Amino acid sequence: MKILYEDTDILVCVKPAGIASQTKKSGQQDMVSLLCNYRHDKGEEPYLGLIHRLDQPVEGIVVFGKHTRSTAALSRQLQQGGFSKVYLAVTEGVMPMQEGTLQDYLKKDGRRNLTIVAKKGDPQAKKAELMYQALKTDENCDPVQNLVKIQLLTGRHHQIRVQMAHFGTPLAGDMKYGKGEAKSGLGLCACELEFAHPANQKKMKFSITPSQPVFEKFGSIIIGHSHILSV
Protein backbone atom coordinates (compact mmCIF):
# COMPACT_ATOMS: atom_id res chain seq x y z
CA MET A 1 0.00 0.00 0.00
CA LYS A 2 1.59 3.24 -1.19
CA ILE A 3 0.39 6.67 -0.06
CA LEU A 4 0.74 9.28 -2.80
CA TYR A 5 -0.58 12.31 -0.92
CA GLU A 6 -2.02 13.14 2.49
CA ASP A 7 -3.13 16.28 4.33
CA THR A 8 -5.72 17.11 6.97
CA ASP A 9 -8.62 16.60 4.52
CA ILE A 10 -7.80 13.76 2.12
CA LEU A 11 -5.65 10.70 1.63
CA VAL A 12 -4.66 9.45 -1.84
CA CYS A 13 -3.08 6.02 -2.17
CA VAL A 14 -2.56 3.05 -4.47
CA LYS A 15 -4.87 0.12 -3.85
CA PRO A 16 -2.94 -3.08 -4.58
CA ALA A 17 -4.56 -5.75 -6.71
CA GLY A 18 -6.18 -8.42 -4.56
CA ILE A 19 -7.33 -6.17 -1.70
CA ALA A 20 -10.97 -5.07 -1.53
CA SER A 21 -11.85 -1.39 -1.25
CA GLN A 22 -14.24 -2.31 1.56
CA THR A 23 -15.69 -5.63 2.64
CA LYS A 24 -18.02 -7.08 5.25
CA LYS A 25 -16.30 -10.47 5.17
CA SER A 26 -14.88 -11.40 8.55
CA GLY A 27 -11.11 -11.70 8.67
CA GLN A 28 -10.53 -10.23 5.20
CA GLN A 29 -8.40 -7.10 4.93
CA ASP A 30 -9.67 -4.11 2.98
CA MET A 31 -8.40 -0.63 2.24
CA VAL A 32 -10.72 1.15 4.66
CA SER A 33 -9.71 -0.99 7.64
CA LEU A 34 -6.00 -0.90 6.73
CA LEU A 35 -6.00 2.88 6.46
CA CYS A 36 -8.07 3.32 9.62
CA ASN A 37 -5.43 1.27 11.43
CA TYR A 38 -2.73 3.44 9.83
CA ARG A 39 -4.43 6.59 11.16
CA HIS A 40 -4.92 5.04 14.59
CA ASP A 41 -1.21 4.18 14.77
CA LYS A 42 -0.41 7.85 14.07
CA GLY A 43 -2.65 8.95 16.91
CA GLU A 44 -5.36 10.28 14.62
CA GLU A 45 -9.08 9.62 14.62
CA PRO A 46 -9.50 6.28 12.80
CA TYR A 47 -12.08 7.59 10.35
CA LEU A 48 -11.91 7.15 6.58
CA GLY A 49 -14.61 8.14 4.09
CA LEU A 50 -14.99 5.86 1.07
CA ILE A 51 -15.57 7.96 -2.09
CA HIS A 52 -15.23 5.43 -4.91
CA ARG A 53 -14.35 1.76 -5.27
CA LEU A 54 -12.11 -0.40 -7.42
CA ASP A 55 -12.82 -4.09 -8.02
CA GLN A 56 -10.77 -6.34 -5.76
CA PRO A 57 -8.44 -7.62 -8.56
CA VAL A 58 -7.84 -4.08 -9.89
CA GLU A 59 -4.80 -2.01 -8.95
CA GLY A 60 -5.15 1.73 -8.91
CA ILE A 61 -5.39 5.17 -7.37
CA VAL A 62 -8.12 5.94 -4.85
CA VAL A 63 -8.90 9.01 -2.73
CA PHE A 64 -10.50 8.95 0.72
CA GLY A 65 -11.92 11.68 2.92
CA LYS A 66 -10.32 12.10 6.37
CA HIS A 67 -13.43 13.66 7.92
CA THR A 68 -17.12 13.87 7.11
CA ARG A 69 -16.95 17.32 5.46
CA SER A 70 -14.27 16.35 2.93
CA THR A 71 -15.98 13.02 2.31
CA ALA A 72 -19.29 14.74 1.54
CA ALA A 73 -17.62 17.32 -0.74
CA LEU A 74 -15.71 14.68 -2.70
CA SER A 75 -18.83 12.52 -3.01
CA ARG A 76 -20.79 15.46 -4.45
CA GLN A 77 -17.98 16.20 -6.88
CA LEU A 78 -17.94 12.58 -8.03
CA GLN A 79 -21.72 12.51 -8.52
CA GLN A 80 -21.55 15.75 -10.53
CA GLY A 81 -18.90 14.36 -12.89
CA GLY A 82 -16.00 16.30 -11.42
CA PHE A 83 -13.64 13.32 -11.27
CA SER A 84 -11.53 12.27 -14.27
CA LYS A 85 -10.50 8.59 -14.27
CA VAL A 86 -8.11 7.07 -16.77
CA TYR A 87 -7.29 3.36 -16.92
CA LEU A 88 -4.79 1.22 -18.77
CA ALA A 89 -6.09 -2.18 -19.83
CA VAL A 90 -4.71 -5.24 -21.56
CA THR A 91 -7.41 -6.74 -23.78
CA GLU A 92 -7.47 -9.98 -25.74
CA GLY A 93 -8.61 -10.30 -29.37
CA VAL A 94 -8.54 -8.13 -32.45
CA MET A 95 -9.85 -4.61 -31.80
CA PRO A 96 -12.74 -3.87 -34.23
CA MET A 97 -11.69 -0.20 -34.13
CA GLN A 98 -8.53 1.39 -32.73
CA GLU A 99 -10.36 4.15 -30.87
CA GLY A 100 -13.86 5.32 -30.17
CA THR A 101 -16.65 5.46 -27.61
CA LEU A 102 -18.58 2.51 -26.20
CA GLN A 103 -22.13 3.07 -24.99
CA ASP A 104 -24.19 0.29 -23.43
CA TYR A 105 -26.96 -0.19 -20.90
CA LEU A 106 -25.88 -2.29 -17.95
CA LYS A 107 -27.87 -4.16 -15.34
CA LYS A 108 -26.35 -5.46 -12.11
CA ASP A 109 -27.13 -8.91 -10.73
CA GLY A 110 -26.24 -8.46 -7.07
CA ARG A 111 -26.93 -12.08 -6.17
CA ARG A 112 -24.25 -13.33 -8.56
CA ASN A 113 -22.07 -10.19 -8.35
CA LEU A 114 -22.30 -9.81 -12.12
CA THR A 115 -23.27 -7.07 -14.52
CA ILE A 116 -24.88 -7.80 -17.89
CA VAL A 117 -25.57 -5.77 -21.02
CA ALA A 118 -29.31 -5.06 -21.26
CA LYS A 119 -31.66 -3.36 -23.69
CA LYS A 120 -31.98 0.41 -23.63
CA GLY A 121 -35.57 0.34 -22.41
CA ASP A 122 -34.91 -1.98 -19.46
CA PRO A 123 -36.02 -0.05 -16.34
CA GLN A 124 -33.26 -1.70 -14.28
CA ALA A 125 -30.49 -0.80 -16.73
CA LYS A 126 -28.25 2.25 -16.49
CA LYS A 127 -26.36 3.95 -19.30
CA ALA A 128 -22.63 3.21 -19.36
CA GLU A 129 -20.14 5.09 -21.51
CA LEU A 130 -16.38 5.09 -21.95
CA MET A 131 -13.77 6.29 -24.43
CA TYR A 132 -10.95 3.99 -25.54
CA GLN A 133 -7.76 4.15 -27.59
CA ALA A 134 -5.58 1.17 -28.57
CA LEU A 135 -1.95 2.13 -27.98
CA LYS A 136 -0.11 -1.05 -28.94
CA THR A 137 -0.93 -4.56 -30.17
CA ASP A 138 1.13 -7.69 -29.53
CA GLU A 139 0.39 -10.12 -32.35
CA ASN A 140 2.97 -12.67 -31.18
CA CYS A 141 0.54 -14.34 -28.80
CA ASP A 142 -2.72 -16.22 -29.14
CA PRO A 143 -5.06 -14.48 -28.78
CA VAL A 144 -3.45 -11.16 -29.65
CA GLN A 145 -3.23 -8.66 -26.80
CA ASN A 146 -3.71 -4.90 -26.87
CA LEU A 147 -2.65 -2.10 -24.54
CA VAL A 148 -5.67 0.20 -24.33
CA LYS A 149 -6.18 3.58 -22.67
CA ILE A 150 -9.69 4.00 -21.29
CA GLN A 151 -11.42 7.07 -19.87
CA LEU A 152 -14.58 6.42 -17.92
CA LEU A 153 -17.46 8.79 -18.60
CA THR A 154 -19.79 6.97 -16.18
CA GLY A 155 -19.11 4.75 -13.19
CA ARG A 156 -20.99 1.43 -13.25
CA HIS A 157 -20.36 -1.89 -11.52
CA HIS A 158 -17.65 -3.80 -13.44
CA GLN A 159 -18.18 -1.32 -16.29
CA ILE A 160 -14.87 -1.62 -18.15
CA ARG A 161 -14.77 -5.39 -17.80
CA VAL A 162 -18.33 -5.81 -19.10
CA GLN A 163 -18.14 -3.29 -21.94
CA MET A 164 -14.80 -4.51 -23.29
CA ALA A 165 -16.02 -8.13 -23.17
CA HIS A 166 -19.21 -7.12 -25.01
CA PHE A 167 -17.00 -5.34 -27.57
CA GLY A 168 -15.33 -8.69 -28.27
CA THR A 169 -12.06 -7.90 -26.50
CA PRO A 170 -12.28 -9.04 -22.86
CA LEU A 171 -9.58 -8.08 -20.38
CA ALA A 172 -6.63 -10.42 -20.04
CA GLY A 173 -6.89 -12.48 -16.87
CA ASP A 174 -10.62 -11.82 -16.42
CA MET A 175 -12.15 -15.14 -15.40
CA LYS A 176 -15.56 -13.56 -14.73
CA TYR A 177 -16.23 -11.93 -18.11
CA GLY A 178 -13.55 -13.51 -20.29
CA LYS A 179 -11.72 -16.78 -20.71
CA GLY A 180 -8.41 -15.69 -19.26
CA GLU A 181 -6.27 -17.17 -16.52
CA ALA A 182 -5.49 -15.02 -13.51
CA LYS A 183 -1.83 -16.12 -13.14
CA SER A 184 -0.53 -12.77 -14.45
CA GLY A 185 -3.24 -10.67 -12.83
CA LEU A 186 -6.21 -8.84 -14.26
CA GLY A 187 -5.26 -6.52 -17.13
CA LEU A 188 -6.70 -3.35 -15.62
CA CYS A 189 -5.12 -0.48 -13.69
CA ALA A 190 -6.70 2.80 -12.57
CA CYS A 191 -3.56 4.69 -13.50
CA GLU A 192 -4.70 8.32 -13.35
CA LEU A 193 -7.08 10.25 -11.12
CA GLU A 194 -7.90 13.95 -11.26
CA PHE A 195 -10.23 15.96 -9.01
CA ALA A 196 -10.49 19.27 -7.15
CA HIS A 197 -9.34 19.43 -3.53
CA PRO A 198 -12.47 19.58 -1.35
CA ALA A 199 -11.17 22.43 0.81
CA ASN A 200 -9.41 24.82 -1.57
CA GLN A 201 -10.59 23.56 -5.01
CA LYS A 202 -6.98 23.16 -6.14
CA LYS A 203 -6.59 20.78 -9.09
CA MET A 204 -5.14 17.46 -7.93
CA LYS A 205 -3.76 14.98 -10.46
CA PHE A 206 -2.04 11.67 -9.73
CA SER A 207 -0.69 8.94 -12.02
CA ILE A 208 1.04 5.58 -11.59
CA THR A 209 2.56 2.87 -13.78
CA PRO A 210 0.82 -0.55 -13.60
CA SER A 211 2.75 -3.21 -11.68
CA GLN A 212 0.70 -6.29 -12.63
CA PRO A 213 2.78 -8.85 -14.62
CA VAL A 214 0.28 -8.81 -17.48
CA PHE A 215 1.48 -5.27 -18.36
CA GLU A 216 5.19 -6.16 -18.49
CA LYS A 217 5.35 -6.75 -22.25
CA PHE A 218 4.10 -3.19 -22.79
CA GLY A 219 6.48 -1.65 -20.28
CA SER A 220 8.55 0.34 -22.78
CA ILE A 221 5.38 1.87 -24.26
CA ILE A 222 3.99 2.83 -20.84
CA ILE A 223 7.23 4.22 -19.39
CA GLY A 224 8.67 5.68 -22.59
CA HIS A 225 5.50 7.49 -23.56
CA SER A 226 4.17 8.91 -20.31
CA HIS A 227 2.09 11.45 -22.25
CA ILE A 228 -0.39 8.66 -23.05
CA LEU A 229 -1.71 9.10 -19.53
CA SER A 230 -2.82 12.67 -20.14
CA VAL A 231 -6.54 13.29 -20.66
185-210 tens-digit pLDDT = 899 999 999 999 999 999 999 999 99
68-96 tens-digit pLDDT = 999 999 999 999 999 999 999 999 999 99
What is the structure's pLDDT at 111?
A: 84
Alpha helices in 29-129 (DSSP H): 31-41, 68-79
Residue 112 pLDDT greater than 90, yes or no: no
Rounded-to-integer distance, Cα 126 and Cα 124, Å: 7
Would you tell me how many other CB atoms lie within 10 Å of the CB of residue 187?
Answer: 31
pTM for the structure as a whole = 0.90
